[in-house]
């Protein structure tokens, strides 16, 4: 896998269907040598030539001696696009080599070499486009002999055009391996739609003895000896950089804030305005829910939340937002419930999502707003709060080793028993702490 498996068979195959000329000179030689071959006879003519240091390979009259093969060629534009794609893959694999691609005497691609330690983003933008570069998130992930570097596009801004950028390299070799693609897709699935694909340029470095390349005829797939370890390593590496882009959730003690303005007219619960019409609207006096008798009911709708409507268009909308008037007939008093009994199981029915961070809920004929970031924080707090049963610790496939100060190490050792009750298992040494297990809610989080 280090030598990319090149043994020269391709040259013989190409020369059998074309006129091939190979001219090369090393730095130690005074003159270059040129090898020429054509057709199936494989007779090679070698002679001295004038040439700078380096190698030039020239292929002319492809399929000149097998005209039947030419019938299977596509248009010139299509065939050139295949060549362009191969050059793009090579350019992404070797940032240290300048690559120029010419077509019909004109340079159409020019990828300049990046010096060691230089910025690779400029060349990345030239190869993959500025749209990918603007959404690219850099990855630097390492564990033992495994190293993952490269870029992955923000899934929230992935377009069909960006989804075509999927390049993965194993020790410098271009791969289209199902295990690698599955790990990347699984890390992005929470942020991608059903018809979306991730965009990435990733480089995996691994011990060559842990890889079997004799799987695919074109060497596009490999077999990892520790496939599960490699899969989870790539998954955690991609997931960690994606989670760093998440917005910081609201603090726990913040109350959910009401909408800063009234709900716009005709904002139907399905999220789309089906009732907007240019016709004039009749003003309707707002109706409010009676104050709840106890704390078990959700909050009543906020003022000014009732828009005007027309009879023919607003009947469904009126039923949605207005609380039915109290029944006039007497009824038996209902038994009092504890304050949390009614709301402990469900917030109600979710009608729609407002501004991507609030949920519009309906319960017991009332409408209320729920702040999703605050709800998520409270949910995680409830999951992490020990109950009667101990929290189950989930072992990490790849233990996380963190460097800590003496004060941090002392504080962790003092709280080790309390952390164990929360499902966190770690082992400390001189200057590091190795996290071996965490509770389930933290299993997929970025523990760095």
Residue 147 pLDDT greater than 90, yes or no: yes
Instruction: Report the largest interatomic distance among the alpha carbons of the chain, rounded to a whole angstrom.
Output: 112
Using CA atoms, how far apart are residues 85 and 178, in angstroms rounded to an integer?
A: 20
Q: Are residues 95 and 156 in the same domain?
A: no
* Assigned domain for 310 exists: no
Q: Is residue 330 part of a domain?
A: no
Q: Do 381 and 396 sit in the same domain of this protein? A: no
Share of the chain above pLDDT 90, in %: 34
pLDDT digits (tens, 9 = 90+) for 113-134: 998 878 899 999 999 999 999 9
Last residue of a domain, one of 209, 243, 277: 243
Domain that holds residue 376: 247-254+347-385
Selected residue with higher pLDDT from 374 and 269: 374
**Distance of alpha carbon 224 from alpha carbon 178, whole angstroms:** 12
Answer yes or no: is pLDDT of 286 > 60: no
Is 447 among the domain residues?
no
152-203 residue pLDDT tens = 999 888 888 888 999 999 999 888 888 999 999 999 888 887 778 899 999 9
Mean pLDDT of the chain: 77
Instruction: Tell me: do 376 and 424 sit in the same domain.
Output: no
Question: What CATH number corresponds to the domain at position 368?
Answer: 3.30.1540.20
Q: What is the pLDDT of residue 352?
A: 86
Task: Judge if 167 and 238 occupy the same domain.
Answer: yes
Q: How far apart are CA 153 and CA 184, in angstroms?
A: 11
309 located within any domain: no
CA distances to 31, 57, 63, 387 from 20, in Å: 20, 7, 12, 76
**Beta-strand pair 166-170/200-205:** parallel
CATH code for the domain in which residue 436 is found:
3.30.1370.100
Q: Does 137 share its domain with 202? A: yes
The answer to whether residues 150 and 200 belong to one domain is yes
Instruction: Looking at the structure, tell me whether residues 42 and 78 fall in a common domain.
Output: yes
Looking at 212, 243, 274, which one is the last position of a domain? Answer: 243
Same domain, 401 and 352: no
- The end-to-end CA distance of the chain, in Å, is 32
Determine the distance from the C-alpha atom of residue 151 to the mean position of all C-alpha atoms in its chain, rounded to a whole number: 10
Q: Is there a single domain that holds both residue 58 and residue 156?
A: no
Q: Spell out the SS3 assignment of the chain.
A: CCCCCCCCHHHHHHHCCCEEEEEEECCCCCCEEEEEEECCCCCCEEEEECCCCEEEEEEECCCCCCHHHHCCCCCHHHHHHHHHHHHHHHHHHCCCCCEEEEECCEEEEEECCCCCCCCCHHHHHHHHCHHHHHHEEEEEEEECCEEEEEEEECHHHCCCCHHHCEEEEECCEEECCHHHHHHHHHHHCCCCCCCCCCCEEEEEECCHHHEECCCCCCCCCCEECCHHHHHHHHHHHHHHHHHCCCCCCCCCCCCCCCCCCCCCCCCCCCCCCCCCCCCCCECCCCCCCCCCCCCCCCCCCCCCCCCCECHHHHHHHHHHHCCCCCCCCCCCCCCCCCCCCCCCCCCCEEEEEECCCEEEEEECCEEEEEEHHHHHHHHHHHHHCCCCCCCCEEEEEEEEEEECCHHHHHHHHHCHHHHHHCCCEEEECCCEEEEEEEEHHHCCCCCC
Q: For residue 265, is it left (φ>0), alpha (ψ between -120 and 50) or beta?
A: beta
Q: Answer yes or no: pTM beyond 0.75.
A: no
Confirm whether 229 is domain-assigned.
Answer: yes
Q: Is 405 within a domain?
A: yes
Q: Is residue 285 part of a domain?
A: no
262 within some domain = no
**Boundary (domain end) residue, out of 385, 402, 434:** 385
Q: Same structural domain for residues 138 and 79?
A: no
Query: How many CB atoms within 10 Å of residue 86?
Result: 11
* pLDDT attached to residue 366: 87
In tens, the pLDDT along 52-74 reads 999 999 999 999 988 898 888 88
- Claim to verify: residue 73 and residue 175 sit in the same structural domain: no
pLDDT at 261 over 70: no
Q: Are residues 429 and 357 both part of a single domain? A: no
Domain count, the chain: 4
């Amino acid at each position: 896998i280090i030598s990319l498996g090149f043994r020269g068979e391709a040259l013989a195959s190409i020369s059998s269907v074309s006129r091939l000329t190979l001219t090369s000179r090393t730095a130690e030689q005074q003159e270059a040598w040129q090898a020429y071959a054509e057709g199936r006879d494989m007779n090679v003519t070698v002679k001295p030539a004038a040439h700078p240091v380096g190698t030039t390979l020239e292929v002319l009259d492809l399929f000149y001696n097998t005209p039947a093969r030419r019938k299977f060629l596509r248009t010139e534009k299509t065939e050139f696009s295949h060549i362009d794609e191969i050059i793009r893959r090579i350019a992404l694999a070797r940032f240290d080599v300048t690559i120029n691609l010419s077509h019909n005497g004109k340079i159409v691609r020019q990828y300049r070499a990046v010096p060691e330690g230089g910025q690779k983003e400029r060349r990345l933008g030239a190869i993959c486009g500025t749209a990918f570069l603007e959404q690219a998130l850099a990855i630097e992930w390492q564990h033992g002999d495994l190293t993952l570097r490269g870029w992955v596009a923000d899934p929230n801004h992935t377009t069909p055009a960006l989804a075509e950028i999927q390049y993965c390299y194993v020790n410098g070799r271009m791969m289209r391996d199902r295990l690698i693609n599955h790990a990347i897709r699984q890390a992005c699935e929470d942020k991608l739609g059903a018809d979306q694909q991730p965009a990435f340029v990733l480089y995996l470095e691994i011990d060559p003895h842990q890889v079997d390349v004799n799987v695919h005829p074109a060497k596009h797939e490999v077999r990892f000896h520790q496939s599960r370890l490699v899969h989870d390593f790539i998954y955690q590496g991609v997931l960690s950089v994606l989670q760093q882009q998440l917005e910081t959730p609201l603090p726990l003690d913040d109350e959910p804030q009401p909408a800063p303005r009234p709900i716009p007219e005709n904002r139907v619960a399905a999220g789309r305005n089906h009732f907007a019409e240019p016709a004039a609207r009749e003003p309707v006096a707002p109706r409010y829910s009676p104050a709840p008798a106890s704390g078990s009911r959700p909050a009543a709708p906020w003022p000014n939340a009732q828009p005007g409507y027309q009879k023919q268009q607003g009947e469904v909308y009126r039923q949605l937002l207005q609380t039915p008037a109290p029944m006039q007939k007497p009824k038996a008093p209902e038994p009092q419930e504890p304050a949390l009994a009614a709301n402990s199981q469900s917030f109600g029915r979710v009608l729609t999502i407002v501004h991507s961070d609030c949920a519009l809920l309906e319960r017991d004929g009332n409408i209320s707003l729920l702040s999703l970031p605050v709800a998520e924080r409270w949910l995680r707090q409830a999951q992490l709060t020990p109950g009667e049963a101990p929290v189950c610790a989930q072992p990490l496939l790849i233990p996380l080793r963190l460097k800590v100060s003496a004060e941090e190490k002392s504080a962790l050792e003092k709280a080790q028993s309390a952390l164990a009750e929360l499902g966190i298992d770690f082992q400390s040494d001189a200057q590091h702490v190795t996290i071996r297990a965490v509770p389930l809610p933290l299993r997929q989080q970025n523990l760095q």
